[in-house]
Every structure is written in C-alpha cells, then in structure tokens.
Structure 1
C-alpha cells in the first residue's frame, strides 16, 4: 500500500524547479575551484597573501572549496527555497572534514570525504531497501516517475554505484599523488557518473509511468 502511494505521489506544487544548466554549474563550481586552487595554490598565495594562512596548495584549495560549497548551497536556497538532500549532506561533510584538514594540517581528511559521503549514500539507499523503502525516488521525483519495481531496481543499482565510487576514491588517494587525486576527483568522477546514469535509461524506460519515457 505504501509503495503504491509512493509511486503515484504528486510533486510538491510549492517546490521551484532550477534551470538544469545552472544546477550543473552550482554542483561543479566548487570542484572546479578546488582543482584550480590546488594547481595554482602558490600563485594565489602570492596574489592574495591572506590565503597563505591556510597552508600549502591543497590546504588553500580546501579552504576555497569550503567557501565555494557554502556559496553554492546559499545560491540554491535563494533560488528555489530548498536544498537537495544529497548536496546538503555532501556540504556538511565538506565543512566537517575540511575544517579538520585545515586545523590539523592533514589532507587525509579532505581526501577521505568522498569515501565517507559515497559510503553514506550507498548505505542509506541499500538500507532503505531492507525496510521496503526506495529512497532514491525522493531524490529523482522531479526528473521522472517509475513504478515500484523500477524504483527498487534503480535504488539498488545506485546504492552499489556509490560504494563503487567510495572504493575507487580510496584506491586513487592512497596510490597516487595529491595532484592526480584532485584531477581525478574533478575530471574523472563526473564522466564515470554520467556514463553510469545514461546506462540506466533502459531500466527507466521499461518502468516509467511517464509517457515521454515509454517505448512505442
């Protein structure tokens, strides 16, 4: 009964939709800032001496990453008066682990942030399935409508994918240099995620309740 109610649950009429391009910019912006600041940390410290208080390039990048994340969340709130749950949780972890990175001058914390966030998302999605809840529907409810079986399968796949990202992050940061890890975090994770997302379209089309996704 609950699943039937869930799969036909209407969108919140008060919820404002954000322009997809702007949403992408707000999500990628902090990562681009992180990459640029790490690559040009020494130059930034010379141009803006106050940034030298953060420490070396990775610490300058961490500080600016935290600021950019806060600005991104703030702009999202001003535009739609709500914060998506996944960017919000990720932002909280950025602030906590970023603060630890700067305070202890140990970049291990910021490097572990993706592992923690992705493991948390994976555990929540797979844990929800154990209790009969396809929680991914609350994240993608504005994008498309699926039947109960479709949400269960998609939630399961995304849960496993998040754990995959966590494992990959652990391998990269423990096996390669900080610069390589930063580059992979910015330019590697997004393409992998896009490929995985598009690979789920056949499942979405099979279980869609929306005519625009139906076959035939």
Structure 2
C-alpha cells in the first residue's frame, strides 16, 4: 500500500504530462500530493515525515515552476527529495547516533552494527547518486525523456537497489515464526 501511495502523485504527474504538458502535470502533482496528505491525515491522524517533506518540496518548487512558468524548478524536485533523504540519514546517524535504516528494518534482520552503518552509507550514496542522475537526465535529455525517467527509470533503479540489498543481506534476515493453522 505504501508503494502505491508514494507513486500515485508520480503516476498522475506522468498521465497529466502526456495529456497536457509539464505545467498542468506540475499542478496535478501538487494537488494530488496535498490530497494524499489530507487523506492519510484523516485516516491515520498523522502524516509520515517523508510525505510531509515531499509535500513541502512539491508545493515550493511546483509553485515556483507555475509562478515563473519555468520547468527547471520542478525538474529539481526529485533531486531535492533524494538529497534531503541522504542528509537526514547522515545527520541522524552522526548527530543523534541513530541509524534510521536500522530503526526501519531492525525487526526483520539482525546484522552487526558495522553492517547497519554500511547499509546506511550505501543508502546515502545511492540517494546522492540518484539526485545527480536526475539532474543529468533533466538537463542533458529532452523533457519527455526526463518525465519517462522520473517514473520508469528512477523507480526501476530503486527497485533494483532494494532487491540487491535483500540478496546481499539475506544471511541476516530473522525468520518470522507464525503459528500454523
């Protein structure tokens, strides 16, 4: 369910782009993200931090895009999200001595602290690299290529990165004992 809600504004952006162009797509992404945030808040009583950050970034950069009628700002949005994520992982680990990757996955796997730190650093590197790749595609390829990359390329790279981690860390997965019927 989380994957669908994360991808919904991107999918709607893609559809709107194909039908009406970058500026309508930007407005659709802004509205769909804010509606999604409202829906989740009404359902759960709170909004996930990353969704709130995404909502703020899309509102600011999308708003500037529409106000100035300049697509550059919306093209920076994925990079901003990736780099904010990388900074949060680094800052949390070294300022607060909390590994957010361990907090998220600690009930599913039990590697040594050094492995958690490597995993955290791998995510930081991946997110920084994704931000750079987004900018490269945005400013060295066509707008249409960037939109396609945003949905298909970035999503595929994220999926491959996660699958690679599953295989690399399979020795540390904790068996979930469920009662049999």
What is the TM-score with the length of structure 2 in the denominator? 0.86
Give the 3 Å change call, closer, same or farther, for CA 157–107 of structure 1 in structure 2.
same
1:85 aligns with 2:49: yes
Instruction: Please give the root-mean-square deviation of Cα atoms over the aligned residues, in Å.
Output: 2.1
Out of 9, 13, 16, the position equivalent to 1:37 is 16
Counterpart position of 1:129 = 93
1:23 aligns with 2:16: no
Deviates more, 1:74-83 or 1:167-176: 74-83
Distance (Å, rounded) in 2 between the aligned partners of 1:123 and 1:100: 23
Q: What is the CA-CA distance between 1:104 and the residue it aligns to? A: 0.8
Structure 1 gap segments, 5+ residues each: 1-21, 42-56
- 8 Å CA contact 1:150–1:207 kept in 2: the answer is no
Distance (Å, rounded) in 2 between the aligned partners of 1:136 and 1:81: 24
Q: What is the CA-CA distance between 1:189 and the residue it aligns to? A: 0.7
Give the length in aligned residue pairs. 175
Q: What is the CA-CA distance between 1:123 and the residue it aligns to? A: 2.0
Q: What is the CA-CA distance between 1:212 and the residue it aligns to? A: 3.2
1:67-124 CA-to-partner distances (Å, cap 9, x unmatched) read 1111222222233333222222122101110011011111110001111111121122
1:8-50 CA-to-partner distances (Å, cap 9, x unmatched) read xxxxxxxxxxxxxx32221111111101111110xxxxxxxxx
Structure 2 gap segments, 5+ residues each: none
What is the TM-score with the length of structure 1 in the denominator? 0.73
